[in-house]
Amino acid sequence: MLSNFYTCPSFNIVNESEKFGGRRGKRMKKWTWISLIAIICILFTGVGKANAAEKGKRYIGLHDRILPIEDIRVIDGDTKVPLKDIANYLYLPVETKDGKTIIQKQGKEFIFDHSTGTTTLDGVDQPWKPIASIDGQLFISVKYIARETGFQFEYFQEHHTIRIYRNEFNHISHEAFKEVIKAHGTKQPPVSTSNASKKATVYLTFDDGPNQSTLINNATLEKYKVPATFFFLGNQMKQNESIVKTVSKSGHYIGSHSMTHDKALVYNSTESFIAEMAGGAELVEQLTGKSANLVRVPYGSKPLVTPSMQKSLIARGFKLWDWDVDSNDWRYTDKQAGQIVKNVQEGVTKAVKSGDKDIIILLHDRSQTTIALPRIIEWLQQEGYKFKAYEPDNHIIQNFLRDPLL
């Protein structure tokens, strides 16, 4: 202990103690000075450590990525972020009324009282401040909200990073995630909008609706302000007319995916093929008042579409879209939604490397896709891709038949 004290600068204990007459006085004075030096050293050491802890950029990770949250603060030793920011990524329904902010998630209700600054969970006062109001903005404890809503978390002290994750989603190891943090820290600042526009355009497309999953996907698209293209089945449209109208009013393009999706019926003959595809297009027009000249044939155009069917589509003025990236979402369960995200990421990356500037992504209106969709959109946005729905006046040729007329 004493050797540590002597490392503190600018104090000469021997000289100071010699000023006092008497052995006892010298001893008392000596220990007084030692006590003072100890206190000073502790104070300086504590300040030094506190300052060191605050240095460096801080990050919040979700599963396998770093969230673009900039305002991360350490308040009373606890990492907090703006509630509005983390709510977007953890899908926290936030409502403010009667001077209170209410969050309901996983069957739990969190209430922050703006007048008292207190937080309750299911009516029970929290003994500390997991939510705090700072300069008129609410900040919430990252670890607290993660734990209470079913997430696990890992803190990487050397990288000032908290990673939030769920075990039911496939994710990389913590060791591998350290490399993600390092790579993110060395990235250049985001490119300007003019540079971002030079990146490829992506077209999110959804097959097999309309159904209840269509409504969820539509709500997610609205939340992220992303346009998309839906290929509906005629028989499904007859049973869900209101959903068709909702999707159309949201500004998305709706095309025909046949009436039945029955391979034997659709491809029985050229006549049955056209009847199936045209029937779906006619229903779209009846329900929305908009033409549906773009079709997607069940199971893809090659090798099922015959030259005769091909000519009939052209003669009727139809255009045909297959896809560049297959998410294979239909193969997975809700718990495997993370694999759908990875399939899209890998497919888009491969398409870009091949020089593709207009990338059509195949998805379906299914429950597992509703889970994966927010993460797909967030990744595409983070990478700087531009989203579009199908534009009849700016048709993109993408069919496995390699027919420029389709």
Query: Quick check: 52 pLDDT over 80?
Result: no
Query: Quick check: 109 pLDDT over 70?
Result: yes
Query: Quick check: 158 pLDDT over 90?
Result: no
- Tens digits of residue pLDDT in 115-135: 999 999 999 999 889 999 998
The CATH code of the domain at 59-185 is: 3.30.457.10
Label residue 64 exposed, middle or buried (CB < 10 Å: 0-12, 13-18, 19+).
buried
User: What does the block give as tokens for 105?
Assistant: 């998630």
**Greatest mean pLDDT among 26-35, 146-155, 197-206, 266-275:** 266-275
The predicted pLDDT at position 167 comes to: 78
Average pLDDT, the chain: 84
Sequence-ordered strand ranges (E) for 288-376: 294-295, 319-320, 325-326, 358-364
- Tens digits of residue pLDDT in 276-290: 999 999 999 999 999
Query: Quick check: 187 pLDDT over 60?
Result: no
Give the C-alpha separation, 253 to 392, whole Å: 9
User: Is 364 a known active-site residue?
Assistant: yes
Domain segments of the chain: what residues? Answer: 2-54, 59-185, 196-394
Spot the catalytic one: 63, 160, 252, 364.
Answer: 364
Percent of the chain at pLDDT exceeding 90: 63
65 vs 268: which has the higher pLDDT: 268
Query: Quick check: 6 pLDDT over 90?
Result: no
Query: Quick check: 349 pLDDT over 50?
Result: yes
Residue 367's nearest CA partner among 145, 217, 226 is 217
42 vs 405: which has the higher pLDDT: 405
Query: Quick check: 61 pLDDT over 70?
Result: yes
Contact partners, residue 249, CB within 8 Å, separation at least 6: none
User: What does the block give as tokens for 369?
Assistant: 């896709």
Sequence-ordered strand ranges (E) for 46-157: 59-62, 65-66, 73-75, 78-82, 94-97, 100-105, 108-113, 118-121, 124-125, 131-134, 137-141, 152-156
The predicted pLDDT at position 70 comes to: 86
Query: Quick check: 13 pLDDT over 70?
Result: no
Q: Are 139 and 73 in contact (CB under 8 A)?
A: yes
Query: Quick check: 65 pLDDT over 50?
Result: yes
Q: Are 109 and 102 in contact (CB under 8 A)?
A: yes
Give the C-alpha separation, 260 to 51, whole Å: 66
Average pLDDT over residues 327-343: 94
Average pLDDT over residues 395-405: 93
The predicted pLDDT at position 241 comes to: 95
The phi, psi pair for 119, rounded to 5°, reads -120, 135
Spot the catalytic one: 85, 207, 324, 365.
Answer: 207
Q: Which CATH fold would you assign to the domain 196-394?
A: TIM Barrel (3.20.20)
182 vs 108: which has the higher pLDDT: 108
Which H or E run contains 207?
strand 201-209
Q: Per-residue confidence at 32, pLDDT binned at 50, 70, 90?
A: low
User: Is 207 a known active-site residue?
Assistant: yes
Query: Quick check: 227 pLDDT over 70?
Result: yes
